[in-house]
Chains A and B, each alone.
Chain A
Amino acid sequence: MFLFLYLLLAPLLHQKLAAGITFDPPQSTISGTITDINGLPLGGVTIRVQSTNRGTISDMDGTYSIQAGPNDLLVFSIVGFRTLEVPNDGRNTINVQMEEDVTQLGEVILNAGYYTVSEKERTGSIATIKSEIMEKQPVANPLAAMQGHLSGVNIVQNTGVPGGSFSVEVRGRNFLNGVTDPLYIVDGVPYGSQSLAAPRVSTEIIGDISPLNAINPNDIESIEVLKDADATAIYGSRGANGVVLITTKKGKAGKTRFDAHLSTTLSGVSNFLDLMNSQQYLEIRREGIDNDGLTPLLENPALDGFWPDITVWDNNRYTDWQKELIGGTAYRQNAQLSISGGNELTQFLVSGGYLKETTVFPGDANYRKASLNSNLTHRSNNGKFKINFSSSYTREDNRLPGADFTQQAYSLEPNAPALFDEEGNLNWENNTWDNPLAALEEEFVAATNTIISNATLSYAVAPNLELKSSLGFTRYRLDSYVTNPNTARNPGLGLTPQNFSNLTTNASERESWIVEPQLNWKKHWDRLSLDVLVGTTFQQESSNQIVLRGRGFPNNGLIKNLAAAQSLEIFSTSDADYRYSALFGRINLKLYDRYILNLTGRRDGSSRFGPGRQFGNFGAVGLAWIFSRETLFKESSFLSHGKLRGSYGITGSDNIGDYRYLDTYNVSGESYAGTTLLEPSGIFNPQFGWEANRKLEAALELGFFNDRVFLNTSWYRNRSSNQLVGIPLAATTGFSQLTGNFDAVVENTGFEVDLRTVNVRSKQFEWSTTLNLTVPKNKLVEFDDLESSTFANRYVIGEPLTIVKLYNALGVNPETGIYEFEDYDGDGEVSNPGDLEWIEDLAPKWYGGMGNTFTLGNLSLDVFFQFKKQRAYNAVRFDATPGFRGNVPVALLDRWQQPGDIATYQRSSSGFTTVEDLGGRQQSSNAAVSDASFLRLRNIALNYKLPTMENRLDINVYLQGQNLWTLTNYYGPDPEQPSSTRLPPLRQLTLGLQISF
């Protein structure tokens, strides 16, 4: 460790020695004004003198002055414009006009993690989304802002409840164990994306809690998603599911800049189901009871408990429960203030944000988030020493009801009683129903505190050699609880605070640090340039969790005080350390400016494997040929960029959880006769090793008309093998499986297209378009002994992992009025598993997005559509037999009533028959899967920039909408996330103001 510290400090010591006297050529002051093509002054342009590395920044009025020698070359650069190199030629005044870079392509520098690469010269597949696009979307989680914008990246929002999680798949599902999370890296620090939520606390309302909520989208400069082997192999064992790099904003040199954002968002559920009214509902209820021959029993008051909706409640009452329970408007207020600036050597940025969001549910639930983000960059006078420090702290406080009201909104009887009685208390209608608002008596609170900080120090040891180290630390703490007081239960049950009220708490924490010393050596020759990087990583992550329940409180006022509980149970505790170390390297060789070879490699060690199995080797080869730089095309006027690139390599995954190779006993949280249980956690297998993922990619990039039309098409084939899964064992071993590597191969192939065009470009009006399309295909290629494995009913060789096996619904028999299914195995009975032979794939067939940006003077309009072709479970999955208690879609009115009827739904039933209800099979049949393709206006943003005033006050006013309109013929709540229990993603409208000066 001392040597390591020495290495870190060495640059500082060395710097003093290096600061000797150098001979400077005679210098004179050069000044000038920089303008854009329209003659407007350009501030913030970096002017650098090539020989001395001295630099300055132009003022807001475009003026600058700098010391330079007569033969110096001045380099003018700013993001969004073509870099200009102007020889001094002994002048004293140099006025330049900078040309806007149409697609910004040439200067776009992509973050590839350990190195950066220019968009034009990259050999790997990197998708990126910049702050300009994220800022236009009124969302609280960066993943939401990425939805639809990146090819090969499929993101699905799991719930419309604030603070909820997203599922992310980069180029499909690779592993049988279902883990698809990519590796997230925030400013160089790996950030654990796995939720620490405890099911016992949060399942009812929110499910998983996404740690990425802690990252304020407004603080993000760019997000890069690394997809192919060339880009991900340097992340070795954690690159298999892709890598998401999040870079936060940095300060820019120039005048101190104040930037304030204020916005208000209104959101609501975008689509309601067409449910039955009381009359329709009671009609099929009665019909069902009659069909089952139970009508006489309706007269029997002792059985009222079976059908209070018919016999007890007011049959003429009607409540639109969707409107009542999920029909509210959620408000979000967002305020953000940032201050940035600095001089040429030191830049800073400090930003603070506050967000408050309410829900569409009744009650005063809300989600609050406060964040503070800061960044400091400095380089020494001689440019040899650099330091960058960034840190962010976020506090989230999510207060929600104990349960998501969505399921109740879809299924409560339309004639169910009033929520409140005359005195304003919860109405229990003589104990004949469970009042849904009782969930408001339960309180769910999730408070998180997140710190992410990173420091990067570098020192140029020699002109071409840089020593660098990145040091990072993250801490994520989640404290959540849910209260369950007796008042949330029917008072008829006779529950009291003493015998019922309970509190379940989850205290979880994850902390990690990383140290990554690196050496980077660059050399340019005439025809050859070489860039070599070598580094090592040491990382540790510790996480712990304790889930407790206290039961029995003297009164409900004390329910949040565990100390007041009569009994305390420990549901689970966990405590895990994960360590990780690696040696990695990259060699990038560029010949004649157009042939590029990129070699990356990594040797990884992970504590998740047993002794002798900890290390694995990963690597990739990437090649690119920029053929547009060949002499043949040099003269070409229309082809401005042409590149062929390809890569092949191996990445891996250690996504199996910690300590699985040890022979261990777990505390289950239960007890017998006062003794806490210890259960064997499985069969000891120290033998398992890394999962491997071999990625192959070929791509063609074309730019036409000065890159005004830019097309990127790529094809990939990723094969994952050595799958870590449970290998089935005979029960006589005591267990059903053993964690081990399994000879199963999953293949993801796909085709991605990204197109950017500038359609119209004039002084006043500009119109540009982006389009991305992904056509993925997933296939289980190989699986030894699938038939006899525990996966026999889930997977089929040659089919995707995302399939479901279903019955083949043959419709309703016109004579009997009952559903019929195909008897595949011909045994005369429709049964599982023999007849679950219909295969449906629930993965998208293709997906993508299309955005258009129109700029007219100070007015700009962005319209972004997301589209997806897919099939999904529809509402039949939830309701297939009419007549059961609980409301259903009006579609179920099309039911069989008498012999000869041709109907979609089978005859009504009370749900109390002695014969099996075949509706259950219909729900597991292909009738429950249908087209769920959609075209969604995901985002529309209208921005008006007020003319710049005398005092250089920039004011932007904007109106943004998210998820405003959807074209789909999907039968169900929302095609994005088919669920009858979770709140669908909301429609949002935002009005905002941005002031900068």
Chain B
Amino acid sequence: MKKIDKTTYHKRTAIKSFVRNPILSRPYQIIILQCMLLLGCTEFVEVDPPQNILIAETVFEDPATVESTMANLYYNMREQGMVSGNFGLTPTLGIYADELDYYGFNVDLAQFYNHNIIAINNRVELWWNQAYSLIYGANAIIEGVESSKALSSSERNRFKGEALFIRSYMHSQLVGLFGDVPYIKTTDYEENNRVSRLPESAVYDNIIVDLEEAVGLLEGQEPVTSNRVIPDAYTAKALLARIHLYVGDWEQAVSYATDLIANFQLEMDLDRVFLKASPETIWQLQADDQFPINTSEGGTLTIELVPGQTYALTEELLSSFEENDLRYEEWTEPISDRDNTITFYYPHKYKADYNETESLEYSILFRLAEQYLIRAEARARLGNLIGAANDLNQIRERAGLTATQANTQTELLEAILKERQLELFTEQGHRWFDLKRTGNAGTILDDIKPNWNETNLLLPIPESQLELNPNLLPQNVGY
């Protein structure tokens, strides 16, 4: 009873005056006071936490519950934001670049397709919010396991490594989409609520530091699952290879890609590349075993009926395939209306139907083919043209194509970029990020997107976020 809160209201007239009331004899006052004291009001209103929720500290005292908080991050990657799913980068950046045409009614997506995105675009805001929500989850795990005394050092390393990977992966997507972004390393909401943006190069520096630490922590850990649905040291290296390519550190890119090429192998049957047991998969998100039991990428992009299509592959992409490219055969599928007056093509990398009785495919985020193309490009940049052509030809051969004719550095780089377009189409926006980083976006999109402007290379910071945290100003140019 002594803890009287000064900020609450001091309207205790009735009680006070009662206690002071001289009419009441003293013994009764004492009885009441004793009663209050014996039963201990303050203690009485303190309750134990319930069994179905866990207090943060206890979560990190048991490896099983830490595993559950990690699982929450992978689940959210699959379901909600930019990483995978209906709202992911795959369809959205597909229509922003030159991969997909858009026939749906969604205003936010129409803005992507037409290149007239405004700062209140819901999809953009969703991506931003979800990325930082995942980053919070990762930071909470990093802080939690660091202070935990109950975990073995191997467990602590694995959890921290995975969380560092997720933190850097999400930041890498954010920096690719928005340019300068805050790099969040703490769960302190007061700090994060007022955080400022870091220059793009500093964001990449942070990503690389985190990833290198993650590799160190994850190296040598036994895989948690057999089907590569949890990222490990290889996944971190694959991202390092990609980031080094993006920032132009060719040697490092070659080095990391080489490590992966030595440890994984390409699936030679194109029909089987996207199956869940594909040997070239470095990291994939396990599909829901309830519904849909296969990938939402497959579900979103597959056209069931014409008319009724939402996305369809563009003429630009379809016409880029060379004669005899098996990928055209295996990875795209036509569908016509009843009268065969019009035919659309949709991506057919994921083939499994929703109604299968078991999951056949998972959402693949990193696979070996990209690493070959990373190494090819980095080698070409370093002047190792033969090595570059070899790597490129690995991919071309699998697609049933002859060896590349390119033999100068420029030709090779051009051939590799085109190969990336055809190999990695409708996968996590690779095409858009390639157009952006190589400076080709203008030349290619100018023709097909009437609203094209150089400022479209970066998405707007969501307006609501600029209002909530003015330290994020200024808005990206053009919005």
Query: What is A's interface to B at a CB cutoff of 8 Å?
Result: 1, 3-4, 7, 297, 300, 302-303, 465, 499, 517, 519, 521, 523, 530, 532, 534, 536, 538, 544, 569, 573-581, 583-587, 599-603, 605-607, 611-619, 621, 649-650, 658-659, 662-668, 670-673, 675-681, 683-684, 689-690, 692, 728-736, 738, 787-788, 831, 833, 912, 914, 916
Contacts and interface: CB of A to CB of B under 8 A. Distances in A.
Q: Among the interface residues B28, B78, B128, which one has the most CB atoms of the partner chain A within 10 A?
A: B28
B133 A677 contact: no
19 contacts: A4-B39, A519-B28, A581-B45, A587-B21, A605-B41, A612-B3, A615-B3, A615-B5, A615-B41, A650-B11, A663-B55, A672-B75, A678-B59, A678-B68, A678-B69, A679-B137, A731-B462, A734-B137, A788-B467
A677 B136 contact: no
A213 B5 CA distance: 40
B225 A579 contact: no
B136 A667 contact: no
Closest 4 pairs between A and B when the two form their complex, measured CB to CB: A734-B136, A601-B14, A678-B68, A730-B469
A75 B341 CA distance: 100
A732 B195 CA distance: 8
Given A538-B44, A605-B44, A599 B7 contact: no
A575 B193 contact: no
Contacts of B53: 659, 662, 664-667, 681
A659 to B, nearest CB: 6
Contact of B32 (A534, A667, A680): A534
Contacts of B23: 521, 523, 530, 532
Contact of A616 (B8, B42, B189): B8
Nearest to A578: B47
A733 B189 CA distance: 5
B7 A689 contact: yes
State which size class the interface on B falls in.
Answer: 35 or more
Main secondary structure of the interface of A (DSSP, over half): strand
A690 B4 CA distance: 14
A532 B69 CA distance: 56
Interface string B1-36: 001110111111111011001011000100110111
B42 A733 contact: no
A374 to B, nearest CB: 31
B189 A729 contact: yes
A319 B69 CA distance: 54
Contacts of A581: 39, 41, 44-45
Given A577-B48, A617-B11, 9 more contacts: A521-B24, A536-B36, A607-B45, A617-B8, A658-B50, A671-B75, A672-B72, A673-B74, A732-B132
A580 B44 CA distance: 7
B133 A734 contact: yes
Contacts of B467: 787-788
Contact of A732 (B17, B57, B65, B193): B193
A904 B53 CA distance: 54
B192 interface: yes
Contacts of B67: 675
Contacts of B56: 663-665, 680, 684
B21 A532 contact: yes
Contacts of A731: 128-129, 132-133, 462, 465, 468
A658 B286 CA distance: 35
A577 B47 contact: yes
A611 B3 CA distance: 10
A544 B52 CA distance: 10
Contacts of B133: 731, 734-735
A586 B14 contact: yes
Nearest to A600: B14
Contacts of B17: 587, 599
Contacts of B406: none
A940 B8 CA distance: 50
Nearest to B110: A916
Contacts of A580: 45
Contact of A914 (B39, B71, B103): B103
A677 B10 contact: no
A587, A732, A787, most chain B CB atoms within 10 A: A732
Contact of A664 (B44, B54, B75): B54
Given A302-B338, A599-B13, A729-B189, A665 B54 contact: yes
A678 B136 contact: no
B182 interface: yes
Interface string B105-122: 101000000000000100
B87 to A, nearest CB: 15
A649 B45 contact: no
Nearest to B68: A678
A676 to B, nearest CB: 6
B478 interface: no
Contact of A605 (B45, B50, B120): B45
B140 interface: yes
B299 to A, nearest CB: 17
B390 interface: no
B3 A734 contact: no
B52 A730 contact: no
B13 A621 contact: yes
Contacts of B14: 585-587, 599-602, 619
A810 to B, nearest CB: 21
B334 interface: no
B151 interface: no
B211 to A, nearest CB: 21
B339 interface: yes
